[in-house]
Structure formats: C-alpha cells, structure tokens
Homo-oligomer: A and B are copies of this chain.
Amino acid sequence: MQFFSDNATPVCPEVMAAIAAADRADHGYDGDMWSARLDGAFSNLFDTPVKALWIATGTAANSISLACLCPPYGGVLCHEEAHIVVDECGAPGFYTHGASLMALPGEGAKLSPEGVVERLKAIRPDVHQVPARAISITQATEYGLAYTPDEVAALGAAARAQGLGFHMDGARFANAVAYLGCHPGDVSWRAGVDILSFGCVKNGGMIGEALVFFGEQAAARAAEAARWRKRAGHLFSKGRYLAAQLLAMVEGDLWLRNARAANRAAQALAEAAAGRLMHAVEANELFVRLTAQEAAALRAQGFDFHDWGEGAARLVTNWSQDAASVKPLADALRALKE
C-alpha cells in the first residue's frame, strides 16, 4: 500500500466517467460546452461570481496567478518552504519574468500577519529594493496544516492594507476545507484571497486544476491569465477533457467527499502515531518521526512512503483510502511502539 503521494493514486471513477462522457466532437481549445460551464460551477461553489479557468498543473496555476499579481520588478511574500520556492524549478521566476520570492520563516510552513508586516517594514521604498506586491500562502500548508478562516482573513487584511495581491496555492484546498468544516468562501474570497489555485489532481483527478479569480478584478485578471495560459502552451486543443474533470469534482460534492476520505485515513494514522507526529494532522499528510530501523520494518510489511530527512517520514493518504483501508498501517505504526 503506497503512501508516497496523492499523485501516485489512480483517478477516481467519477472523473473517469466524466472524461468518457466528454469524448465526443466539440469545439477545440476552450470553446466547448464543458469549459463554458466552469464560471457558473465555481460561482455556485463559492457563492459569489467568479471566473474560472482550467489549467494543466498546480505549478502553472501558481505561476500564472503570481504573474497576474506581481510585476517583474516586484516580490512575492511566501513561506521559505512553500512549494513555489522549493519544488517548482523556478517556475514563478519564469512566469513573472524574474520577480523575487521573499521567503519568510514560520512554524508548520504558515505565514503570520506579523511576519509579513515586519518583512515589509524592512523594504525601503526606493527603486533599489524590490517592492513586495503579493502574498502567497498554501492551504493546507506544506506540512499539512490548515489556515483557519480567521488566519486567512488576517493575512488578507494585511495584504489589503499594504496594497498587495493575495494568492492561495490550494493544491490541497479540499482537504483543508474538509478539515475546517467551513464554507470554501470562508478561507478564500471572504478572507481576501484574490486568486486561488484550486487543486483537483491530488484529489482524484487525472489532469487539470482550476484557477479561480475573485473580486472586482476577477474578469480582467482572468482575461490576462487566459493570455498567459495560451502563451505558455497550456491551452489544450481538447480542453473539454479537462473541463469535464473539474465539473465532475465541483458540480456535486465529489471534491469534498474525496478529501474527507483522505482526511479520515490520515486521522486514523495520526491516532496510531500520536507520539511521533512532527506537526498536527489537519489534512492528508503526516510527518512522522521514524528511525531507519522502524522505516525499514514498515517497508518490509509492504508500506511505501518517502523519507523526510533523517529519522522521519512523510505519509500521504488519498481519496481511495479511508480509516478502514489504512488500518494495516495504523496497526503497524502502533506495533512499532511496543
């Protein structure tokens, strides 16, 4: 049983069915009837008028978001362990034409309004220094923590007060919302988020995430993002196969159902590994202290996962699991203690 990554998991049946249903002739690019429904579907989901675009990957979604919010000579405040800093081979620098990522520390890969404000104070307003123009946070964070609505709103208020754009990398947005039990709007537009990378692939999709634009500038930014999408070679010839996946996720509650399953699996493991947890488990990732011997013992029992530096491991659950299905690993984790 693999706990490598939610990327390693198959596509969920509802998404496969949606792809099959979209397998008919229609206009190319995003001229099809599925793509035309995206704005409506995401507006319903978020309970506010939004613009939504399908986009190939989270890296592209994040980078295009930043390109919409930050000029080439600007900077983006983000956590020093954010995916955009650590795992995207400089994609934000490519899309923003060289904007700076201004990395901040923070427990559990979370930014705080205080940290943001302090960093901003250190920037002289002359032309020699890169001006901050946006904040980007990850929901859930790279360590599987969920920002609460209040926490997002406090960062949103700081962004607004300083004239900064506010982006949210929501590769695991569904898991965070499922954990928080809040309305998706409470941790996005109601809290000041301008652009959301809404993740689907880790949550059971095959190919395609959504870029969701909120607020008064939504239409203008989405129009610009559509240019970036084409210009970056992301305007698929047969976009209906992406649109259909997103619609399957969000026209019903599949996105939440899948996330809840993954979260339940994670909680089951968290209970079993209670004394070993390096971070609270608020989504579908666990960071667990494990000696090399313990890790080897688990692997010998058929559990696959990534090491996380020395003496630790990362376990990722996914939509296809549940508390019951991960019981063998939970048992094995408990057994280690004895």
Interface, chain A (partner B; CB < 8 A): 2, 4-5, 7-11, 16, 19-20, 23-29, 55-64, 71-75, 86-91, 93-101, 127-130, 201-202, 206-207, 224, 226-238, 241-242
Contacts and interface: CB of A to CB of B under 8 A. Distances in A.
Contacts of A4: 27-28
**How many subunits of this chain does the assembly comprise?**
4
Contacts of A224: 71
A64 B227 CA distance: 18
Given A90-B100, A91-B231, A93-B99, 11 more contacts: A7-B237, A16-B23, A56-B56, A64-B233, A72-B93, A73-B230, A89-B129, A89-B227, A94-B97, A94-B98, A94-B231
A98 to B, nearest CB: 3
In the A-B complex, the 4 residue pairs with the smallest Cβ-Cβ separation, listed nearest first, are A60-B233, A93-B98, A7-B28, A59-B233
Given A73-B227, A241-B206, A241-B207, A236 B91 contact: no
A80 to B, nearest CB: 10
Given A4-B27, A128-B230, A59 B10 contact: no
A8 B20 contact: no
A308 B25 CA distance: 21
A222 to B, nearest CB: 11
A5 B23 contact: no
B11 A25 contact: no
B237 A201 contact: yes
A90 B63 contact: no
Nearest to A309: B122
A297 B167 CA distance: 48
Contacts of A23: 10-11, 16
Contacts of A226: 127
B237 A57 contact: yes
B94 A93 contact: no
Nearest to A73: B227
Nearest to A75: B90
A21 to B, nearest CB: 11
Contact of A236 (B26, B56, B130, B230): B56
A73 B89 contact: yes
Contact of A231 (B2, B10, B90): B90
Nearest to A127: B230
A235 B94 contact: no
A45 to B, nearest CB: 22
Nearest to A23: B10
A233 B230 contact: no
A114 to B, nearest CB: 19
Contacts of A57: 233-237
Contacts of A75: 90
Contact of A91 (B58, B207, B232): B232
Contacts of A19: 19, 206
Contacts of A129: 86-87, 89
A201 B238 CA distance: 8
A230 B93 CA distance: 12
Contacts of A101: 100
Contacts of A71: 224, 227
A149 B257 CA distance: 55
